[in-house]
Amino acid sequence: MTFTHTRTVRIEWGDCDPAGIIFYPRYFEIFDASTAMLFEAALRITKHQMFKTLEFSGWPLARTQARFLKPTRFGDDVSVESGIKFGRTSFDVEHKLSLKGELCAECTENRVWTLRDAQGQLKSHPLPKAVLAKFA
């Protein structure tokens, strides 16, 4: 991965099942937010601002895969390291979620940079050179 960003996330009560262990779909919410935070760290603008200032209509998820190695629980402060690798119209993000240095979950995502066509449909589009330059 060419560019990385790390953030800390607290596992909250609402993230957990009745046993106090994180409910696995919540990891995907954490990873999705981590992708946005990765771009925010590189571009120095929020995803909301990206819609207003860039040739950008979103980055739909084309493929994802995760491995869950160790549960995390209510009150845990986990570290999420995210790295990115770019293609022409798509990019791959790799997330590693750790607790006290121990890998608990990992996820890969493939996402597509999109614009809306004249009919309002999302279509893949080459990543803007200005965006790619911020990740260099």
pTM for the structure as a whole: 0.94
pLDDT value of residue 76: 98
* Domains of the chain, earliest start first: 3-134 (3.10.129.10)
pLDDT value of residue 111: 98
Which amino acid is located at 1 in the chain? M
For the chain, the 3-state helix, strand and coil shares in percent, each to the nearest 5, are: 25, 40, 30
Pick out the chain residues at pLDDT < 50: none
Residue 105 · residue 68 · CB < 8 Å: yes
